[in-house]
Structure 1
């Protein structure tokens, strides 16, 4: 690496142009593919924020989800809740119902041209399956043995009495209570099925545009649903990145400027980092990979790693530079000191992220591979362009740069300044209080391990938004008024075909068992607002056929069940039956409306069903299959958390082996892993203690802990060994290591620990989490390095420095001196 840096410093024009040309070419290809998506050999930028795609295409849960949706004729829903607390009858007044009818008509007409799997597709709102007052049937008796099916709201009411009648009819039909009409009878929920989740944000925007045209009646319109949240996140993700990331970069720039007081040199630090980011993201697009939730975070990982190395170079150059010395000589000294720790840290970070390719999650694989590529790019750009740039900056630019030139000033970075003095005190404390520091660290680790046991794996795309975001507000309002906006589905079929006879889900005993399961879930599981299934249709029609409330039950014979279904086929939407069973009645489907989309709540529903099956077995053994977006979120989150935990352990092992090889010592390799271990355990212990859910960003950032904690430790230990080889005394090495090397590490801690806090300004919770945890990881990793490592080394210096002591002894022996002299000659 020293030769590479020297070559770049002496052939700077070629390196500048080569790096810029390659990066610009990749950016041009990425832009061209996006502007001309049908051009051959070009790849367009594609954005995908669908959590379902966190799983492989052939993952069983995805295969089952799409297969069963097709079997039962189901689509995802955009949910609109309409609440009017200012009117005595709520939304059941002529003006609000007229607006709802108009909104429904608008939704029925919505179509969008999109691209799915590279093919143009027309996606739409499924007009025939809309659940709205003017689209569903009122079911009531028209005489013994006869049922009348008319629209619940055949026309827009003209009087208050007609409007109230719509509510009365809806409340009389169990399938609509809590779904279409709220429990208090004052609010309505509309369900607009869409053929593809990709259009949910576009549908939301069109509906909001229509709502904005309504005269003010006091009604509030809230739009939510998992497809809306996921698509809305994608729409806002890049806007937030375009705002928050530059703010973070500005903060980093200002802090670097404070430390080095040189705009041109500091600005180049950001330029090199952005070159690495532009190269990596352009390459990702050119290679045809989708920019998804995780890959959107790649720049956040590359930038700190790139800046870390650059700060070390700048810091060392700052302490060595004087105008009377040749710059190339200074650069050779700087890179001679830094090439080993910078190469080691880059290799270990690359190995750590590259190991994510072994996880079962495709987006995690892409994320790990391209962060590794980005780290390699950042390393190359830093060790070539930074030395090259230092050779071309003018003497005037460096007139007041460097510790030696500031010795007469008041700058706190000079050797007698506050930072240098504070680090000397810290070094002395670490050396003299090693047992106390290690005992304190052990206590922290014990408490953190206890905290880790309290961690709950949980996520919910709705919670990716701030609590006052309109998506979150809509979610709360709708789930407070209605049975729930989160859909999960449970498909049942006999475990052994034919064991329940022909058409098993026409059998009264089977339907009663399903009804019992519905009642149990609604009564015993707080998350379940409502369960709708075939028994609801049968019991409602049976009641109206007999004209008696007592007839709201499952008929006693299969023939009577068949009669209710045959009667329902006279309705305006007879195909609704096939949402709950198949045409040969060998499968059944239960719709569960949940008032929470949290993974842990979905898991409690799954466990409740399992318990009911065990305690109250069905008439014949059943196979069950869960599907729906809420269940898919549970599965991908569990897979991801498990995969990231396995990846972290794998990365830890890979990095440990690599550090041992690089240091050529198991002792030094294990020592380098101490700050990483302390950092990861402590951060996640705090996560458990404060009750923060272990969600996607929290899981992913464990990888960053590995990369950055090892970075600090390797720099500290490599420089310690270099200095000890010269001083042959840990007592003399320790004060020196707490000079320039410690100042460089501390600058990194401050710049990056504080620099990424502006991510907290984002309105998206994952970016807030990333900002908080990056800062916490950087600060804690730095403190662990500066406190624990010198304490450990001070306790075992003779064991750790055996090689350096032997090498020094050989160089002092007559044979060694003769060999060295012969080598010089």
Structure 2
């Protein structure tokens, strides 16, 4: 059926191109319906347990994702003018759309507990801007004297103040940040500097910048790819259909995704980057073979037909195996990863269809005379590349044993490197060191208790559970355990509020800053605080019926491994000293959620790649009808994965989300070379009567040149990604090059010797049909 379609495209080239363009138009008109989602949290299903708990915690405690604003002045912030400027900034930001004004934490909006005339008074820290040294000293002392505010609202040296800005939705963070910067530029003078930190603004900004970079990097990669193809084949009319296949594949894949109503997430935004190189692989094989055959036959139709007849089976299987590899991502329980894998797989099959129709149709529209002039004058022995490859092939074939031993040693080093892999990620680290967000992260986490928010939920089984003294003492102990970790800068809880009330009502006696031992006394302090202040002053720390409490955990680092270490620290404490009866302890918060989805993604991608590996191996068994040949065909994939990730570990690159995504890329690219090499090897071996040396010489003609061209074109063609300021693009660009290097070297340098060593004993010589 598919072959019939190929011959029809050659018989009716104009109609074929017209139908392809019409289909492309139908897919293209779907693009205005695009819906973009830049929230990494949506990596998790909406009903995932940790995500459900986090959403419930937001409702129960009135907590929301935070933008942390820091304002610094080397001369000191505790002066009338800087304090007045901060007050105006806070007043104006309260009017920004999307800011939850009631929960903004700042000098002017946060309540302090004080004693006045023997009564408890709860009022804003800074009701009015102080205008003399005594008032300023009193303000600074009040901050330092309240554990809820020290290292949170002001730095210890007094050169920085912080404002914690809760927002309704994370996808508003970048917009709110932009509007806030405009306010700050107006209100602050040249002495003050400001920084915006926190995971929400980092994640939202990254999503926006990633889509912007996509608009730059993709065309740049496409342009370089076009120039390289022209350099290889030296005729624009032959290169244009190859680029057309790549571009139209992207339009078809993304158009179908959007048209079916799927959201374009951070993962699916990278589909074009993955499809373009895979889409050109088969086209390069067709052109390489056509260039060799056409001068001999002098008839484009005959040359095309012979090329496609010989290449049809390896192209079909490379496409099917690559599609199966990406489709295996459906095994990952991460919706955006599933969408990514499914539509890359669909795009690969679309690329095969376009390659087998658009490329032949385009060639059929080129006049014979022009083809004669363009191709007939070329060196069909491959020039310098051909000479190098023939020498390389002879060496690999003639030194089979030492090459195999050295390869085994190198593979062992790769496995050793993989064993040293450290799994870790932090969305802030996806930006370059010089980016405002990275600078803000460094400055803010040095000056304050931490901008990475996590929450430790203490859940009781009955109303009023948090009014039990033993529960409060347990919360206090958990805080001390947490603060023993170097990356936990500060914790805050209901226990701190109660201790501060006790301290104040006893005339600031340091001995009184402790939790009361009796239930009645504890309840009395809570009553005093609630009646003296606003009804919602305790919302962030305890729910309405005192069933569940919340410990705010501010961390100075948001790396997965830092969060994991803190989680393990609490787990150890829970084992050593279980909570009081009826109490459960669970983690939540954005920093913890990031750890959860990244962990699930790493595990999910590993499982998916393993599933894809097995699926590809099964297809190799079907294609080659030989377990040994199937195993040999998997070697480029094995070497590419092992050496790429082993090298990354040796140079200190941690296994993060971009690297997890790249693991799927190996399935799409590495298997191509092995299939073409082994299938063409078998075909020529049959034609040459089983002469291995002669077969090796033939395969290291056009077949080896096509493999080398593909590796070179893709590795260099996507090098512009390495110059992107965003870490994930750099990672993908480097991995394109490494995968091409390792899989190409394995196919051309190791397989000849292994085929020689195993022939006649472990796999049967048998005629291979196209």
Q: Which interval holds the TM-score relative to the shorter structure?
A: over 0.9
Mapped pair 1:148 → 2:121: yes
- Per-residue CA deviations over 1:125-184 (Å, capped at 9, x if unaligned) read 11111101111123222244x223332111233445544543222112110011111122
What is the number of equivalent residue pairs in this alignment?
A: 766
For the 8 Å contact 1:318–1:401, the answer to whether it is kept is: no
Deviates more, 1:674-683 or 1:422-431: 674-683
Residue 89 (structure 2) pairs with residue 103 (structure 1): yes
Per the alignment, residue 268 of structure 1 pairs with 241
Looking at structure 2, the residues matched to 526 and 219 of structure 1 have their Cα atoms a distance apart, in angstroms, of: 29
The question of whether the paired residues in 2 share the 8 Å contact of 1:197 and 1:227 is answered with yes
The match for 2:19 is 18
* 1:94 lines up with 2:47 in the alignment: no
What is the match of residue 701 of structure 2? 739
Selected match of 2:764 from 799, 802, 805: 802
Whether 1:644 aligns to 2:605 is: yes
The answer to whether residue 568 in structure 2 is matched with residue 607 in structure 1 is yes
Q: Check 1:559–1:429 CA distance in 2 against 1; reply closer, same or farther (3 A cut).
A: same
CA contact (8 A) 1:721 1:801 kept: no
Residue in 2 aligned with 1:410? none
Supply the distance in 2 between the matched residues of 1:620 and 1:692 (Cα, whole angstroms): 45
Please, which of 88, 109, 112 is the counterpart of residue 135 of structure 1?
A: 109
Match of 2:100 in 1: 126
Do 2:449 and 2:489's aligned partners in 1 also have CA atoms closer than 8 Å? yes
- Cα distance between partner residues in 1 of 2:593 and 2:54: 8
**Structure-2 residue corresponding to 1:121:** none
Q: Deviations over 1:597-629 (max 9, x none)?
A: 111110111111111122233333631121111
Return the match for 1:533 from 447, 469, 493. 493
Alpha carbons of structure 1 residues 806 and 762: separation in structure 2 relative to 1, 3 Å: closer
1:327 Cα deviation (Å)? 1.1
Q: Equivalents in 1 of 2:620, 2:47: separation in Å? A: 37
**Could you report, residue by residue, the CA deviation over 1:538-564 in whole angstroms, capped at 9, with x for unpaired residues?**
111111111023211112322221222
Q: Measure the CA separation in 1 of the matches of 2:579 and 2:549.
A: 13
* Cα offset, 1:29, TM superposition: 3.1
Aligned equivalent of 1:670, options 619, 623, 631: 631
- Structure 1 pair 333/706, CA: closer, same or farther in 2 (3 Å)? same
CA gap 1:161/1:771 in 2 versus in 1, 3 angstroms: farther
CA-CA distance at 1:107 after TM superposition:
1.6
Q: Distance in 1 between matches of 2:434 and 2:250?
A: 32
1:571/1:240 CA distance change after superposition, 3 Å = farther
Judge conservation of contact 1:264–1:397 (CA < 8 Å) in 2: no
Match of 1:633 in 2: 594
Distance in 1, matches of 2:400 and 2:89, equals 71
Aligned to 1:392: 365
Within 1, Cα distance between the matches of 2:454 and 2:383?
63
Q: Give 2:506's aligned residue.
A: 546
CA contact (8 A) 2:38 2:171 kept: no
- How many angstroms apart in 1 are the aligned matches of 2:220 and 2:609? 30
State which of 440, 453, 457 in structure 2 corresponds to 1:491.
Answer: 457
How much does 1:397 deviate?
A: 4.7
Matched, 1:692 2:653: yes
Q: CA deviation at 1:636?
A: 0.8
Change (3 A) 1:210 1:572: farther
Q: 1:401 to 1:165 in 2, by over 3 A?
A: farther
CA deviation after TM superposition for structure 1 residue 416, in Å: 6.3
Give the structure 2 partner of residue 36 of structure 1: none
Structure 1 residue 712: Cα displacement: 0.5
Whole-angstrom CA distance in 2 between matches of 1:483 and 1:556: 29
SS in 2 for 1:688: helix
Partner-residue secondary structure (3-state), 1:15: helix
| Change over 3 Å in CA distance of 1:716–1:171 after alignment to 2 | same
Match of 2:554 in 1: 593
Aligned residue for 1:575, secondary structure, equals coil
Is 1:228 aligned with 2:207? no
1:204-603 aligned within 5 A = 204-322=177-295, 325-395=298-368, 397-402=370-375, 404-407=376-379, 414-415=380-381, 417-494=383-460, 497=461, 503-522=464-483, 524-547=484-507, 548-603=509-564
Gaps of 5+ in 1: 32-43, 112-123, 408-413, 808-825
Distance in 2 separating the partners of 1:3 and 1:434 = 42
**Any idea what SS the aligned residue of 1:140 has?**
strand
Helix, strand or coil: the match of 1:580?
coil
Q: Distance in 1 between matches of 2:731 and 2:350?
A: 26
1:784 aligns with 2:746: yes
Deviation at residue 781 of structure 1 after TM alignment: 0.7
Asked if 1 retains the 8 angstrom alpha-carbon contact of 2:326 and 2:667, the reply is no
Q: Distance in 1 between matches of 2:768 and 2:718?
A: 44
Task: Answer yes or no: is the 8 Å Cα contact 1:463–1:472 preserved in 2.
Answer: yes
In 1, distance between residues paired with 2:340 and 2:382?
Answer: 44
Query: Alignment partner of 2:374: what SS?
Result: coil
The answer to whether the Cα contact below 8 Å between 1:793 and 1:800 also exists between their aligned partners in 2 is no
Distance 1:406 1:778 in 2: 26
Q: Give the 3 Å change call, closer, same or farther, for CA 141–16 of structure 1 in structure 2.
A: same
1:731–1:211 distance in 2 versus 1, CA, 3 Å: same
RMSD: 1.8
